[in-house]
């Protein structure tokens, strides 16, 4: 179980770093680059939520009702995945912290591993399966998109694009 827990931790650490990079999630800077899972995954989740909100505001400003409905569905699905993973509770609830995975029996570890697999799925395009990214990768964010082009979520509000 220890090995399985360590493997999941390492995998999530790698995936979370990739997500924070792609989504441009704010993380406290470390000159040594030694980021821990607890610093990365909650930041990625929080930032994804912010991106959903920003996208909804943008769609609202363009009066794109269908897009708003679509985004709301995406948002609530993601919220359920985040909740099931309990990653956002790591700081306040030691019992669900990733360091406690070592003490779980197999029966209890399996749903934890599944919850995180599902959570990572919430950061991907349902078509190509790639992690989403914020474009461009510097300066004002314009969209959340994937590699295949199917997922392309606008982040720019009407007033911004008119420069007012």
Query: Which residues of this chain interact with Zn ion, rule CB under 5 A?
Result: 125, 127-128, 146, 148, 150
Using alpha carbons only, what angle is made at residue 49 by residues 43 and 50, rounded to the nearest 5 degrees? 90
Least Cβ distance, residue 149 to Zn ion (angstroms): 6
- Closest to Zn ion by CB, 65 or 150: 150
- Closest to Zn ion by CB, 136 or 149: 149
- Closest to Zn ion by CB, 87 or 146: 146
Least Cβ distance, residue 128 to Zn ion (angstroms): 3
Least Cβ distance, residue 132 to Zn ion (angstroms): 8
């Amino acid at each position: 179980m220890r090995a399985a827990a360590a493997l999941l931790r390492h995998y999530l650490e790698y995936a979370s770093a990739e997500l924070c990079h792609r989504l441009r999630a704010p993380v406290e800077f470390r000159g040594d680059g030694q980021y821990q899972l607890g610093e990365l995954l909650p930041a990625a989740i929080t930032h994804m939520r912010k991106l959903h909100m920003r996208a909804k505001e943008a769609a609202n400003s363009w009066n794109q009702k269908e897009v708003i409905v679509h985004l709301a569905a995406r948002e609530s699905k993601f919220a359920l995945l985040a909740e099931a993973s309990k990653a956002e509770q790591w700081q306040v609830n030691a019992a669900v912290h990733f360091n406690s995975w070592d003490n779980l029996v197999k029966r209890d570890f399996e749903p934890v591993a599944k919850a995180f697999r599902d959570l990572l799925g919430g950061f991907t395009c349902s078509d190509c399966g790639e992690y989403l990214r914020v474009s461009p990768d510097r300066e004002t964010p314009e969209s959340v998109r994937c590699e295949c082009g199917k997922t392309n979520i606008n982040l720019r509000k009407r007033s911004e694009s008119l420069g007012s």
